[in-house]
Chains A and B, each alone.
Chain A
Amino acid sequence: MNDKVKDINKDDGKLVMAHMYVAFISLFIGGLMGVLQTMVRSGTFTLPFGIGYYQILTVHGVILALVLTTFFIVGFQFALMSKTVGMSDQQRESAWFGYWIMLFGTITTAITILVGKANVLYTFYAPLKAYPTFYIGLALVVIGSWIACFTNFRQLALWKKHHPGEKSPLLAYMVVINMLLWFIATLGLAATVLIQFIPWSLGMVDTINVLVSRTLFWYFGHPLVYFWLLPAYMAWYAIIPKIIGGKIFSDSLARLAFVLFLMFSIPVGFHHQLTEPGIDPLWKFIQVVLTFMVIIPSLLTAFSMFATFELAGRSKGYTSLFGWFKALPWKDVRFFAPMAGMITFIPAGTGGIINASHQMNQVIHNTIWVTGHFHLTVGTTVILTFFGISYWLIPSLTGRRLTKKVNTLGMIQTFVWMIGMFIMSGSMHIAGLLGAPRRSSYSEYGGSEQATEWIGYQISQAIGGSILFIGIILMVYIFFYMVFAAPKGYTEFPMAEVSENAEPTPKFLENWKLWIGITIALILFAYTVPFIDMLHHSPPGSPGFEDLIR
C-alpha cells in the first residue's frame, strides 16, 4: 500500500531489517565487551560478579566477528539481490528459514558462553573444550547461512533464465561471488565442527587431532575476512560512484577483482599457521605466494577507486591535478564514512602483507600487533563502510528520511571512530612490536621490565577503546532513530551506472564453471599434500581440557 514511498519491496525490507536488528544489537553488546577488556588490561579495573576476562573476550570475538558481520552481510546482500534481480515468495520463505536457524544457533552459542561453559575464544582451538552446545550453535549459524547462499544462487539463476543472453547485474554478480566464497570456505569449518568437535565434546570419541582441526579452521579463517571485506567492496565499486555523482570506472575490472578474490582468498590459510610445528615450510611458503596473489585485486581496486573519484571530479569541471579531491562530497556521511574506511585500508592492508610474510611473521605472531591489524581491517575499513551503507539502507527500508541531523551525527560518529581507532590500534601496533601478547588479561609477568613498558600502551588502548565505545553508542542511537523516529519520507537506494567510456564486459567473466573449477583446483593444489602428510604423521590425539577454562 505504501510501497511507492519505499525503495524496495516491503516484504523484502522486513527480511533485511530482521537481520539488521541482530547486527546492531550485537554491535552494542560486543562493543561493551571490548571496552571492558581494554579497561581490565590497563590494570585499573577489575570485572565484577566473578565475570572472567576470557569470557568477555569470547563474547566480544564471537558476537562481533561472527554474528554482527554475518547478519549484516546476509541482510545487506538480500537487499542488493531484491533490488537487482528480485525475490520470489518462495525465495523469501527460504531466506526467513535460514534467518531463524542462524538466530537459533546464535542464541544457543551465546547462552553457553554466558553461563561460562565456553571460554574458548572465537577460534575455539582444541584441545580446550567447550560444552557441546557452543559448537552445535556455531554449526547452526553456518547451516543457516548456507540457506542464504543457495537462496541467492537461485535468485540469480532464475533471473538469468528470464533474461537469456544478458549479463547479470553487477551487484548480483558480486553477491553470488561472495556467497560462493563463503560456502566453499565454511565447508572447512563445518567439517571440523561436525566431524571433530561435536563428537569429541559429546564424549563419543576420546581424542581430537589438533593440527587437523586448526588447519580446517584456518582454511575457513582467511576467506572469512574476505567475506567481510567483499560487501564493503560492493559498496565502493557500485554504490559510492552514485553518491559522489560519478559512474562506475569499469564494470569488467570490478568483476575481475571479485573473481580473483574468489580464487585466491581460500588456498592461503597457512599464513595463519606460519610458526606451527607439523607443517613443511615449503608448503607454508607456497601458500604465502598464493596469499600475495590475493593482494593484486586490492591493488586493482585502489586504482579503480581513485579513478572513479578523479573522473567524477573532472566531469564537474575540476581540472587541476588534485582538484577533483575537493569535488568529493565530504559532508555527505554516505560518502564520508566509507571513505574513512578506504583510507584506513592503506595501513590495514599493508599490515596484512607484513603479517603474511613467511619468517617475518615471527616478529608479530600472536602479539597485540595482530589485534591492532584486524581492528583496522574489519574494525574500521569494513565496519565504517557498513555504517556508511546503513545511513541510506535503513531509512530506505523503513520509509523514512536521512535527515540533516542524522547526517551530522554520522559525521561525528565517523570522526570519533577514526580518533579512537587511531589511538587504540596505533598503540596496539607499537606494543606488539615490543612483544606484548594478544588475548591476555592484565599481567605484570612477575615484574618483568618489558611488561612494564607495555602497560603504558595498554592504558592508551583503554583511552582509544573508550572513545570507540562512545562511537558505538552514537551508532546504535542513530540506528534506532532511523528505524523508529526519523521523519517519514523517501530515501534513495543508490546504485551507480557504468561509465560510458568503460569497455564492454567480456562474456568469460560469467563463466561460473571455469571460476569455480580454478578455485577448487587451487585449493587442492595448496592443501592436498600437506593435509595428507598431517594425517599420515599424526601424533596420538588429544583428550579435552575443560577444567582449564573455568
Chain B
Amino acid sequence: MNKKQHHKDESTTNLKGTFIAVMILGIFILVSWFIVFGIFLSR
C-alpha cells in the first residue's frame, strides 16, 4: 500500500528540468577539470 502510494508520487514529481540543469553542471565540472589537467600535462 505504502509502496503503491509512493510510485504514484514519483510519476507526479516531474523533475526533468532539474535533471537537465544538474547534468549541465556536471559537464561544466568535467570540462573545466580536464582543461586544467591539460595545462598540467603541457607544462
Assess whether A538 is interfacial by the CB under 8 Å rule. no
Assess whether B16 is interfacial by the CB under 8 Å rule. yes
Assess whether A363 is interfacial by the CB under 8 Å rule. yes
Q: Is the CB of B32 within 8 A of A501?
A: no
Q: Is the CB of B18 within 8 A of A354?
A: no
Contact of B17 among A306, A350, A359, A433 (CB under 8 A): A306
Contact of A303 among B12, B18, B40 (CB under 8 A): B18
Q: Is the CB of B40 within 8 A of A310?
A: no
**Interfacial chain B residues near A346, Cβ < 8 Å:** 25, 28
CA distance A347 to B31 in the complex (A): 12
Q: Mark A331-368, 1 if CB is under 8 A from B, else 0.
A: 00000000000000011011101100101101110000
**Interfacial chain B residues near A322, Cβ < 8 Å:** 17, 20
Q: Is the CB of B13 within 8 A of A353?
A: no
Q: Mark B23-40, 1 if CB is under 8 A from A, else 0.
A: 001001100110011011
Contact of B32 among A325, A354, A362, A363 (CB under 8 A): A354
**Interfacial chain B residues near A524, Cβ < 8 Å:** none
* Closest beta carbon of chain A to B17's beta carbon, Å: 5
**Interfacial chain A residues near B39, Cβ < 8 Å:** 363, 433
Contact of A314 among B9, B14, B21, B40 (CB under 8 A): B14
CA distance A302 to B29 in the complex (A): 13
Number of A-B contacts (CB under 8 A): 60
Q: Which applies to chain A's interface (DSSP): helix, strand, loop or mixed?
A: helix
Assess whether B1 is interfacial by the CB under 8 Å rule. no
**Interfacial chain A residues near B25, Cβ < 8 Å:** 302, 346
Q: Is the CB of A306 within 8 A of B33?
A: no
Q: Is the CB of A306 within 8 A of B14?
A: no
Q: Which 10 A-B pairs have the closest CB atoms?
A: A306-B18, A307-B18, A306-B21, A350-B32, A310-B18, A501-B9, A310-B17, A354-B36, A350-B29, A360-B40
Ordered by A's residue number, 27 sampled pairs between the chains whose C-beta atoms are within 8 Å are A299-B22, A302-B22, A303-B18, A303-B22, A306-B15, A306-B17, A307-B18, A310-B15, A314-B14, A322-B17, A325-B17, A346-B28, A347-B28, A347-B32, A350-B32, A351-B32, A353-B33, A354-B32, A354-B33, A357-B33, A357-B36, A357-B37, A360-B36, A360-B40, A363-B36, A364-B36, A433-B36
Given contacts A322-B17, A346-B28, A350-B33, 9 further A-B contacts (CB under 8 A): A306-B17, A306-B21, A307-B18, A310-B15, A321-B17, A350-B28, A350-B32, A353-B33, A363-B40
